Amino acid sequence: MKSFSIHHCVLLLLTLIFTTNALDLTSVTVKLNESAVLPCKWNCSGLSKWTMIDTQGIVAWCNETCWSDAGFLISHDQYLKGDLSLTVTAANYIKRGWYNCQCNETEICSVRLSIDTLVSSLLLKTHALLVLDLSILDSVDVIYRSHNSKDLYGENICNVTKSLLQCKAEYTHRVLQRGIFLILNNITVSDSGFYLIKDRRYNEIIHIYTLQVEEIPEVVNVSVNFDDSVTFSCKYKCSLTAEWIYKNDITVAQCNQTSCWSKNTYVMPHDEYLKGNLSLMITAADYSKRGLYRCHCGNTILCPRHLTIRPIRTAVQLRFGEYLLMNLSIPENVEVMYNQSVIYDTTSKQICTLKKGSLECDDKYTQRIERVLRLQVNSNDSGLYTIRDMENNEVIHVYNVSVAEVHPHPCNKYGLCFSPGHVITTCVGLLLSFSLLL
């Protein structure tokens, strides 16, 4: 119904344009880039010449011989037979307008060259860019008319005069000019309608764009604990195949009237689908399931959901010289952040990054960290260690570490040298036996 009314409107607009042209009997209308023949029949025994009125430029002439400018053709044989017709090899906006032919300085023919109105229809999503080809820059109006407007003409939203763009106040911040293109950004459903590119000088419509803007539903963020189940609710009666698509191209579940199918750990019940419930359940959420999910019913996009996994929080009690083991959990690039404060704060200092499997740490830590992120702790290493996914900008794991204050001096006192990097257990063992001796 909607598409019928759009076509109907274009036809109406085109009829109006062609009616005005049809009254003009000496006008020749062709498609852009096609050749056009400007007719003129006359037995001229002297000099015949074609002039473009706008520029007053001579484009072709014939007497004992013929000459024509680039882009124009005239035939001497035809001239001798009384046919002075001029061929324009490829019609374009520069070559439009009135031409006249003279024989011995007397005007014998006057013909107007016009170009067919171009018609394009565009289907865009909200926030996309609308790009309109203005074709010329000397004097054009951009006219907008909504699909259901009563006013057949619509309103002038922008105009270009000698390359200078001017727009109505409500459009100025959204419009850009790039050469012969006018770009309207951040389009919304209310921008749907017709855009007419009108040549003011010749009062011709160069191009009619019909724009249909599709609403994209807002993405809902969903977070879940690691290994827990989660359901993306989605109520929609879908008589076509309903599909849940992960990261734009992976189908994880789908239902049609006869049955449902889903990948391991994803559930989409058939009875719920038939009831108009397209909800998707993930039985055990892990890091490989993070990201964007969208349900498609035919071409309609429904229920976009962005899944994140809540950071795992682990409290670790260590003694001086013991190892802090940090699980990196995911294949993505990660960074390890440290802050002595136990309050999670995004201003923590980066101490290591693991990018494409290659570990790089701050000088202070390089000696003490092994590839598995086994950090041998000093007494001043208490605080929060945060493992952050750098690609998805998500916190994966937070280790709240407290290192017990065991002073290394007793070891030195009994001749055992302690150096950071040594395993402390022997020291602690000795210390214990020493206390027992006392």
Ligand X SMILES: *[C@@H]1O[C@H](CO)[C@@H](O)[C@H](O)[C@H]1NC(C)=O
Contacts with ligand X, residue ranges (CB under 6 A) = 32-33, 41-47, 61, 63-64, 82, 103-104, 159, 161, 166-168, 186, 188, 221, 226, 231, 254, 256-259, 261, 269, 272, 277, 279, 281, 306, 327, 329, 339, 341, 343, 345, 347-349, 378, 380, 420
**CB of 12 vs ligand X, minimal distance in Å:** 23
**CB of 149 vs ligand X, minimal distance in Å:** 18
Asked if residue 253 lies in contact with residue 268, where contact means CB atoms within 8 angstroms, the answer is: yes
**CB of 96 vs ligand X, minimal distance in Å:** 14
**49 vs 112, which CB is nearer to ligand X?**
49
**CB of 179 vs ligand X, minimal distance in Å:** 12
- CA atoms within 13 A of residue 28's CA, in its CB half-sphere: 24
**CB of 200 vs ligand X, minimal distance in Å:** 7
**CB of 330 vs ligand X, minimal distance in Å:** 8
**CB of 169 vs ligand X, minimal distance in Å:** 8
Per this entry, what is the length of the chain? 438
Cα angle for residues 433, 435, 436 (degrees, 5° grid)? 60
**3 vs 425, which CB is nearer to ligand X?**
425
**147 vs 306, which CB is nearer to ligand X?**
306
**226 vs 323, which CB is nearer to ligand X?**
226
For ligand X, the nearest residue by Cβ is 46
**23 vs 162, which CB is nearer to ligand X?**
162
**221 vs 264, which CB is nearer to ligand X?**
221
**19 vs 258, which CB is nearer to ligand X?**
258
**CB of 4 vs ligand X, minimal distance in Å:** 26
**46 vs 429, which CB is nearer to ligand X?**
46
Question: Torsion-angle region of residue 305: left (phi > 0), alpha (psi -120 to 50) or beta?
Answer: beta
Contacts 24+ apart (CB under 8 A), 202-206: 202/96, 202/97, 202/114, 204/17, 204/96, 204/114, 204/115, 204/117, 205/13, 205/17, 205/117, 206/93, 206/115, 206/117, 206/118, 206/134, 206/135, 206/136, 206/140
**CB of 436 vs ligand X, minimal distance in Å:** 27
The CB density around residue 158, as the number of other CB atoms within 10 Å, is: 22
**152 vs 220, which CB is nearer to ligand X?**
220
